[in-house]
Chain A
Amino acid sequence: EDKVVQSPLSLVVHEGDTVTLNCSYEVTNFRSLLWYKQEKKAPTFLFMLTSSGIEKKSGRLSSILDKKELSSILNITATQTGDSAIYLCAGPQGGSEKLVFGKGTKLTVNP
């Protein structure tokens, strides 16, 4: 069965630090990998990575896909307290549109 594993499960940093969140995936018929940020309830979409788009960047956030290692990282530079959230990684299961999620990484940024 398809599986997505995230690490670490939680992380506490100070404002201004740079963090790297990890996601490894075992999905059949890889098509894409998605990152979401969940603050209160609704996961909000950050990035989608595919074989043709292995790097994405938006402001202080960036993500890279390593298809060979079946993994992805999400980097956040110069962290702010507003970055405190749960970051979720997901992939569509084997050719379908069902998203399989990891447990998430809870990031806490202290002032």
Chain B
Amino acid sequence: DAGVTQSPTHLIKTRGQQVTLRCSPKSGHDTVSWYQQALGQGPQFIFQYYEEEERQRGNFPDRFSGHQFPNYSSELNVNALLLGDSALYLCASSFTGVGTDTQYFGPGTRLTVL
């Protein structure tokens, strides 16, 4: 049973560029959440996708956008990159239903903005 997968593993970009990160959820899961983890901090919620729509959003600017596809996989797009966007980006999948708060995380994408 494949767990959550993410690509790429690492990414280096320069300020002002745009980036797309990808995530495939764990088999049987229909919900994908994205988190940003800065060094020494816990993950911060960016947004969550369910049924191909953004269901909930954290305190991130509109430069951060996403998409969910019919097969439940998801993309995170960040435009006009800033140095402060350098972080580990984690994707988590879950199944929407009663008593299913557990989210399973992928290995993350390490984004460095120069």
Contact = CB atoms under 8 A, between A and B. Distances in A.
Given A97-B31, A103-B40, A41 B107 contact: yes
Which residue of B31, B58, B99 has the most chain A CB atoms within 10 A of its CB atom?
B99
A103 B37 CA distance: 10
A98 interface: yes
A102 B48 CA distance: 19
B42 A98 contact: no
Interface residues of A, number: 26
A4 B45 CA distance: 13
A99 B40 contact: no
B42 A42 contact: no
B62 interface: no
Contacts of A92: 101
A99 B94 CA distance: 12
Interface stretch (A43-51, A59-67, A73-81): A43-51
Nearest to B88: A41
Given A34-B101, A97-B94, A88 B42 contact: yes
A101 interface: yes
Interface of B: 4, 31, 33, 35, 40-45, 48, 55-56, 58, 88, 90, 92, 94, 96, 99, 101-108, 110
9 closest A-B pairs by beta carbon, nearest first, are: A101-B42, A41-B108, A32-B101, A42-B107, A98-B45, A42-B105, A43-B105, A41-B107, A103-B42
Interface of A: 4, 31-32, 34, 36, 40-45, 48, 50, 88, 90, 92-93, 96-104
